[in-house]
Amino acid sequence: ESQSDCPPDVEELGRSTWTLLHTMTAQYPERPSLTQQLETKSFIGLFSKMYPCWHCADDFRSWMKGGNEPRVSNRDEFGKWMCEAHNAVNVKLGKKEFDCNKWEERWRTGWKDGRCD
Ligand code: FAD
């Protein structure tokens, strides 16, 4: 399916998008400038309006408004916030929650057992 040349369904779009979003947090600076922080918030705000699964985008915006504004003060905060955002969708879909202490192993460093080396 993800190898096919057909338009993506909501699942395939979701997997690809989470890869982009978590990888953005993995590459986010440990000490972002004020401009980087503002641009990141602005990106997330526009993303949440333009994500091309409209009910997904609406729910994502509601989740942010309900006390989950993006935390972009440093890489770990942003990575954990994105993990929490993903978990909110996991819960909604009845999927298992991911342990957000492990976000960096999954998306930046690879696992401690070396399986990604
Ligand atoms: P995905 O959920 O796509 O996850 C991919 C990989 O990320 C997993 O294999 C795991 O290794 C890792 N992972 C899982 N959870 C976390 C986490 N919390 N933090 C870090 N890494 C993690 N689908 C709908 O049907 N309805 C919706 O309303 C909906 N809303 C969405 C909103 C957004 C903003 C996005 C980006 C996607 C949304 N999706 C929605 C898609 C949905 O989240 C999944 O991407 C899709 O169901 C495919 O799921 P999956 O089981 O393949 O793994």
What's the number of domains the chain is made of?
A: 1
Does a structural domain hold residue 115?
no
37-78 confidence digits (pLDDT tens) = 999 999 999 999 999 999 999 999 999 999 999 999 999 999
Does a structural domain hold residue 10?
no
Closest residue by Cα to atom 37, ligand 1, is 14
Q: Ligand 1: which of 17, 49, 68, 86 to mutate, most ligand atoms within 8 Å of CB?
A: 86
φ and ψ at 2, to 5 degrees?
Answer: -70, -10
Q: What percent of the chain has pLDDT over 90?
A: 97
Residue 112 pLDDT > 80, yes or no? yes
Does a structural domain hold residue 91?
yes
Does a structural domain hold residue 45?
no
Q: Domain range spanning residue 77?
A: 17-35+50-109
Distance CA 88, CA 67 (A): 13
Does a structural domain hold residue 44?
no
Closest residue by Cα to atom 8, ligand 1, is 15
15 lines ligand 1 (CB under 6 A): yes
The rounded Å distance from CA 39 to ligand 1 centre is 24
Distance CA 21, CA 106 (A): 13
Residues with Cβ within 8 Å of 91's Cβ and at least 6 positions away in sequence, in order, are: 97
Does a structural domain hold residue 89?
yes
CATH at residue 55: 1.20.120.310
Give pTM, 2 decimals. Answer: 0.97
- CA proximity to 23, closest of 113, 110, 99, 92: 110
